[in-house]
Amino acid sequence: MMIKALKDVLLPYLEKRIFTSMIMGFVSGLPLLLTITLLQAWLTDENVSKSAIGLFALIGLPYSLKFLWAPVFDRYIISSFGRRRGWLLIIQIFLIISIFMLGQSNPEMNLFNVAILSLVLTFFSASQDILIDAFRRESLMEKEQTIGASAYVLGYRIGALAAGAGGLILADIYSYDFVYTLMALIMLIGVITTLVSDEPDVEIRPYTLKESIVEPFKEFFGRYQDSSNNLKNYTPYLILLFVLLYKVGDTMAHSLSTNFYLEIGFSKTEIGTVVKFFGLGATLLGAFIGGALSLKIGLFKSLIYFGIFQLIATLGFSILFYTGDNLFMLITVISMENLAAGMGYTAYLAFIANMTSKNFTATQFALMTALMSLPRTFLSGTSGYLVEFMNWDLYFVFCSLIAIPALLILKKIKFIIKDE
């Protein structure tokens, strides 16, 4: 009975389109951590100040502004590979080059050069995210969106762990330039996946660049207009506000987590080992549980329950501050954080997919995921100053409580979620 149940859970992930979503998630998650966790450790080793490290979060600006150039990907086809795969191949090649070049830079000699190369890397990474999100949304049927989001999150977290935990361990043994070169080579997996995948069978719209810029916003903001219901008129804005705030707490907590672990006494190898083994296990479990529960209890309840779990997991960092260099507590906190993040992100992406129109997938998906990354870019950019002002323990309590407004907003827009 148990074997059959496990088989029923695993089989959907082996279907070609779902498995492709997992691989695409992997190559999407890997570059992000190269400019957060690994770069943060590199700068810390070079004795860069916490304030400067915190400001480096601003290099994530392309993730927040990617909706500005997303219409180009909706409008133009640049090769015989199709609208999505043609752009993906080009962007992935430039992304690989930028990862390699960042690894050849020197933070001690030229910190500005490191910042510029990191910004270039995040631009191509954000562009890849636009195309992968659109590819997944258009490739999967409506009933596959939740399991597709689960597979994507699973791959994304594995990619993030490979760059973060794996990168830290390798940096302790070899050098940072070696790690970045290796990560650039690993990204070739994305190129191969793009080459062997099928182009989504979707009507090519919009037909003009003007349509690609105007129509996605016109459709989204006009979708819930109802002269007899003021709440419905405000619904698009509440949706965007929810997208902005749902992950803000654990995003801010994670933004300086590597620096936090190092400062309270853990070595890079300890951090990397715990994140790799216990974090990976929790991530796998979180992705599977998130996908399975979302299908069983519905998207609304999943967003509520997983959001509360994220809030509780974030408080674990404050406890770790007081226990200090305690390996058991590090394992517990990292496991809880990865489990909660995996579950929450799965439901979160399914929600965003449900809010987009297939006619304007790239632009609308990019708009919402750009909002999702705003806290990581701007609020995380001030995180170093917040830590210096309120210390680590109160900072993590703040990160936990700041996520509550999203749960209150979700109750207001419950009527747009039709999966229950």
Domains of the chain: 2-416 (1.20.1250.20)
Q: Choose among 243, 279, 273: nearest CA to 372.
A: 243
Please spell the DSSP secondary structure of 112-149, one letter per residue: HHHHHHHHHHHHHHHHHHHHHHHHHHHHS-GGGHHHHH
Question: How many other C-beta atoms can be found within 10 angstroms of the C-beta atom of residue 213?
Answer: 19
Q: Choose among 127, 150, 135: nearest CA to 32.
A: 127
Question: Rounded CA gap, 30 and 38, in Å?
Answer: 11
**Longest distance between any two alpha carbons in the chain, whole Å:** 65
Question: How many other C-beta atoms can be found within 10 angstroms of the C-beta atom of residue 223?
Answer: 14
- Residue 231 pLDDT > 90: no
Please spell the DSSP secondary structure of 337-358, one letter per residue: HHHHHHHHHHHHHHHHHHTS-G
What are the pLDDT digits (tens) for 289-334?
A: 888 788 778 888 989 999 999 999 999 999 999 988 888 898 998 8
Q: What is the pLDDT of residue 278?
A: 82
| Residues whose CB is less than 8 angstroms from the CB of residue 61 and which lie 6 or more positions away in sequence, other chains included | 119, 122, 377
Cα 260 off chain centre by = 21
Q: Name the residue type at position 118.
A: S
- Per cent of the chain over pLDDT 90 is 24
What are the pLDDT digits (tens) for 10-56?
A: 777 778 888 999 999 999 999 988 988 888 888 888 877 777 777 77
Our CA dihedral for 26, 28, 31, 36, rounded to 10 degrees, sits at -100
**Could you tell me the pLDDT band of residue 64, with boundaries at 50, 70 and 90?**
confident
Average per-residue pLDDT for the chain: 84
- Are the C-beta atoms of residues 154 and 25 closer than 8 Å to each other? yes
Where does 108-255 have alpha helices with state H?
Answer: 111-139, 145-161, 167-173, 176-186, 188-196, 209-222, 230-245, 248-255
